[in-house]
Amino acid sequence: MPVLATHSGAIFYAQRGRAGPALICIHGAGGSHSHWGNQLRDLCDIARVYTLDLPGHGRSSPSTSTEPASVAGYSNTLLDFMDACGLEQAVLVGHSMGGAIALWATLDAPERVLGLGLVGTGARLRVAPAILDGFDTDLAATIRLIVDYAYAPAAPAALLQQAEADYAQANPATFRSDFSACDSFDIRTRLAAISCPTAIICGSADRMTPPKYSETLRDGIPGATLTLVPNAGHMPMVEQPDAVSQALRELLRSL
């Protein structure tokens, strides 16, 4: 798995597939490329799939920017990554904060985006004060709160334990700044400007970005489709990977 030098720092990524359009999967707050492991495997027959770690996440180096983390800044990193990979265009698939990044990149550089896959995200990503404040007062309890809200009630205990362990490895300052970046994100008035094919995917039991967030995206983006994934919370690509991969496969076939 290679590391690319970009203007935003060294970016770690995984890649599979040799034919079809480039598809880049972008993780959410405090996450890593590993959240997209199922899609990396499932979609490599129809696309060249890339899963990356954003700066300061996973195995990527911290950002070279001195500015606070923002959705716009991460969008610039994504475009830098595409440049470093030699990708003029790609399908962007983002989860939660990653969806916000994909949306921003689409509005900022529409000529580079072939299609959008928006998973468990919204045009506005308000964050509960208990989460933002919790990073400064009780990190372990805040991680447990995030995991509790992120997964459906019936999610296996082993999945929840692994999620807590993964988030505990994240840099706490980066984790908090991700949620701050989400809290200041709002493009509700700009959705009509998005013209590329768009597939919206949401867990039916998502409590962090409830289905009404996805319905707002569907209603605001011309021609967008919405897939509600049964028995999934905020992490449908992990909880119900087959359903998410199928919805993304349909998006790729529509291009």
Which residue range(s) make up the domain with 224? 3-254
Distances (CA, A) of 32 to 11, 28, 134, 137, 220: 11, 8, 21, 24, 29
Domain count, the chain: 1
Q: What is the average pLDDT value for the chain, to the nearest integer?
A: 96
**CB-hemisphere CA count at 13 Å for 243?**
20
If you average pLDDT over residues 80-93, what whole number do you get? 97
Rg (CA), the chain: 16
pLDDT number for residue 8: 87
For 106-131, the pLDDT digits (tens) are 999 999 999 999 999 999 999 999 99
For 193-208, the pLDDT digits (tens) are 999 999 999 999 999 9
Residue 166 has pLDDT above 90, yes or no: yes
Contact 187, 220 (CB under 8 A): no
pLDDT number for residue 72: 97
Grade residue 221 by pLDDT with cuts at 50, 70 and 90.
very high
Alpha helices in the chain (DSSP H): 37-42, 71-85, 97-108, 129-137, 139-150, 157-168, 172-183, 211-220, 236-239, 241-254
Contact 234, 167 (CB under 8 A): no
**Number of other residues whose CB lies within 10 A of the CB of residue 19:** 9
What's 14's DSSP letter?
A: E
* Whether this model's pTM surpasses 0.85: yes
The CA distance from 29 to 6, in Å, is 21
If you average pLDDT over residues 70-87, what whole number do you get? 97
CATH number of the CATH domain containing 105:
3.40.50.1820
pLDDT cut 70: percent of the chain above it: 100
Instruction: Report which secondary-structure segment, H or E, holds 202.
Output: strand 198-203
